[in-house]
């Protein structure tokens, strides 16, 4: 249920001030009881029960991957050849052969467009209507809106206030807190914004070493990892001396102390700490969660199919978490060690795309689709492959190198598959230079609107910001009906 945020002041009849604001606020935000019942019914009928988000950070070059222009001049088309796909007349980069053989299973949008050629992960994954560079580089900027996974968590709490937090968190993120393995920036995007830190995704953090087999940067785990690598929920590991029985004893004492303090008002920070503590306790004590994180249980052939690199093993871990009960797991192909990493191909683009980026993605994305289908999960799992922008049609000179492209948000490409998504459909087109949409421009807000629709969530629903003002889940958006299976 939707609440107007307020202090938890209890009245003499036992009703809290927040409950009164909640009851009165339903009409204020345009959501009556019938609307909430309808929203729950829509969620029950929605095709997507789970989401796996694969985010390729840095801005994937549309011209060198999903939207090549083989007839363009040399300085635009780049060094790679193109190959046919399962869709007549549709060609991809030569370094995506597995995807080419499965393109009839996915929807490809080739006309993504927006006005912000910065690393706007927050613009791609939250409902906010505009961003700027100070916001991009500061995840704590008070103007940020919440990541859509955080919104789903919040709405679930509001619609089911008495439901206990699940043993397997509803929203998780891999392989570490976004932008914490690169220097010097700490970028925004996969955080809860004005909903507060209690709704940040739970992080399953990679613990392991790079495998040393990467050809571009041997220390980058996205190129290769040691087979003993694993994932742990950050900050929830039990010490060797702390058994589950001893933990339960401590929890009993904590609960007794909590009962003595329930008459006190709680600040927003305290509420966040309480929710986070409850989630940590659920995770620590959950056999289901521990089993989901035991990546070594997977057959060696499956692990090899996904790829022994961080993106591949993260996607496999995401599938295990979805099977364990998670609703949304995001896998972030992040910068490592320095800026201009991941898919931010300002330099050495040909080498990086041909040796690591395209082969790693091609292997993992198709392995995930195959795996989900074989397990009967693809029809209820929405698979998203997103990026924040594309790359310039012409090469960018950096020092002595011209092997790279700059930021370009006027047109780029994304992929969607699985629950409720049309198969083998290409939406929109770019012009002959891969520079601007030639047909059917689609914004990141339209994609978010469509994601909510597939999850049975009304994208026009309102949520309160830090000041209690009602804001839509997604600003200025429309449903992309061409993406929907008929």
* Residue 451 near residue 384, CB atoms below 8 Å: yes
Tokens 């990679």 belong to residue? 206
pLDDT confidence tier of residue 257, bands split at 50, 70 and 90: very low
Q: Is residue 122 one of the residues assigned to a domain?
A: yes
- 138-149 residue pLDDT tens: 999 999 999 999
Q: What is the mean pLDDT of the chain?
A: 85
Q: Is residue 30 one of the residues assigned to a domain?
A: no
Tokens 């978490």 belong to residue? 321
The CB density around residue 461, as the number of other CB atoms within 10 Å, is 20
User: What's 117's DSSP letter?
Assistant: -
Q: Is residue 23 one of the residues assigned to a domain?
A: no
Q: What is the pLDDT of residue 44?
A: 67
Rounded to 5 degrees, what angle do the CA atoms 270, 274, 276 make? 115
Based on the number of CB atoms within 10 Å of its own CB, is 467 exposed (0-12), middle (13-18) or buried (19 or more)?
A: exposed
> Distance between CA 324 and CA 317 in Å, rounded?
10
The CB density around residue 51, as the number of other CB atoms within 10 Å, is 25
Domain count, the chain: 1
In this structure, what is the dihedral angle of CA atoms 281, 55, 444, 125, given to the nearest 10 degrees?
20
Q: Is residue 14 one of the residues assigned to a domain?
A: no
User: What's 116's DSSP letter?
Assistant: -
> Distance between CA 135 and CA 60 in Å, rounded?
21
**Span of 170-184, 217-231, 273-287, 327-341 with lowest mean pLDDT:** 273-287
- 365-406 residue pLDDT tens: 999 999 999 999 999 999 999 999 999 999 988 777 789 999
Residue 56's φ and ψ, nearest 5 degrees, are: -95, 95
* Average pLDDT rounded to a whole number, residues 420-447: 97
> Distance between CA 303 and CA 385 in Å, rounded?
20
Percent of the chain with pLDDT over 70: 80
Helices (H) and strands (E) in the chain, counts: 15, 17
Q: Which helix (H) or strand (E) holds 99?
A: helix 97-102
Tell me the two tokens of residue 175.
Answer: 């392989």
Question: In the predicted model, is pLDDT for residue 272 greater than 80?
Answer: no
CA within 13 Å, CB half, 222: 29
Q: Is residue 405 one of the residues assigned to a domain?
A: yes
- 327-366 residue pLDDT tens: 999 999 999 987 778 999 999 999 999 999 999 999 999 9
Q: Is residue 32 one of the residues assigned to a domain?
A: no
Residue 320's φ and ψ, nearest 5 degrees, are: -65, -40
pLDDT confidence tier of residue 40, bands split at 50, 70 and 90: low
Tell me the two tokens of residue 479.
Answer: 């449903």
Strand partners, 16: 10
Helix axis angle for 358-374 and 310-324, nearest 10°, is: 20
Residue 456: which domain range? 49-483
Q: Is residue 248 one of the residues assigned to a domain?
A: yes
User: CATH number of the domain that 97 lies in?
Assistant: 3.40.720.10
Q: Is residue 365 one of the residues assigned to a domain?
A: yes
């Amino acid at each position: 249920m939707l609440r107007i945020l307020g202090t938890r002041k209890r009245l003499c009849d036992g009703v809290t001030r927040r409950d009164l604001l909640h009851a009165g606020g339903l009409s204020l935000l345009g959501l009556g009881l019938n609307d909430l019942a309808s929203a729950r019914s829509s969620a029950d009928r929605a095709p997507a029960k789970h989401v796996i988000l694969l985010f390729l950070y840095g801005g994937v070059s549309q011209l060198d991957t999903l939207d090549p222009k083989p007839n363009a001049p040399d300085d635009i088309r780049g060094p790679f050849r193109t190959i046919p796909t399962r869709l007549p007349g549709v060609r991809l980069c030569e370094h995506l052969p597995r995807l080419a053989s499965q393109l009839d299973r996915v929807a490809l949008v080739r006309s993504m467009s927006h006005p912000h050629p910065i690393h706007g992960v927050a613009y791609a994954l939250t409902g906010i209507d505009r961003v700027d560079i100070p916001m991009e580089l500061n995840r704590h900027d008070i103007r940020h809106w919440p990541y859509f996974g955080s919104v789903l968590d919040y709405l679930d709490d509001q619609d089911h206030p008495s439901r206990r937090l699940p043993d397997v968190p509803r929203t998780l993120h891999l392989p570490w807190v976004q932008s914490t393995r690169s220097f010097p920036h700490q970028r925004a995007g996969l955080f809860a914004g004005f909903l507060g830190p209690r709704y940040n995704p739970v992080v399953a953090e990679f613990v392991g070493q790079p495998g040393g087999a990467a050809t571009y940067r041997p220390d980058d785990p996205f190129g290769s990892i040691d087979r003993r690598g694993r994932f742990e929920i950050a900050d929830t590991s039990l010490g060797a001396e702390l058994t589950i029985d001893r933990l339960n004893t401590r929890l009993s004492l904590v609960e007794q102390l909590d009962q003595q303090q329930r008459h006190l008002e709680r600040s927003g920070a305290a509420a966040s700490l309480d929710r986070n503590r409850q989630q940590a306790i659920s995770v620590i004590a959950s056999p289901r969660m521990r089993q989901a994180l035991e990546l070594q249980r997977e057959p060696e052939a499956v692990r090899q199919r996904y790829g022994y690199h961080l993106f591949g093993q993260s996607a496999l871990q995401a599938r295990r978490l979805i099977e364990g009960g998670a609703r949304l797991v995001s896998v972030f192909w992040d910068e490592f060690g320095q800026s201009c990493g991941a898919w931010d191909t300002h330099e050495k683009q040909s080498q990086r795309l041909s040796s690591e980026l395209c082969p790693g993605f091609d292997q993992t994305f198709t392995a995930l689709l195959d795996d989900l289908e074989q397990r009967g999960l693809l029809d209820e799992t929405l698979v998203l492959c997103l990026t924040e922008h594309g790359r310039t049609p012409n090469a960018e000179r950096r020092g002595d190198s011209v092997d790279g492209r700059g930021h370009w948000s006027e047109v780029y490409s994304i992929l969607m598959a699985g629950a409720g998504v049309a198969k083998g459909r290409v939406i929109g087109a770019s012009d002959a230079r891969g520079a601007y949409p030639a047909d059917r421009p689609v914004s990141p807000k339209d994609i978010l609107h469509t994601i909510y629709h597939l999850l049975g969530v009304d994208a026009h629903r309102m949520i309160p910001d830090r000041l209690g003002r009602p804001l839509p889940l997604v600003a200025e958006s429309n449903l992309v009906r061409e993406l929907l299976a008929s």
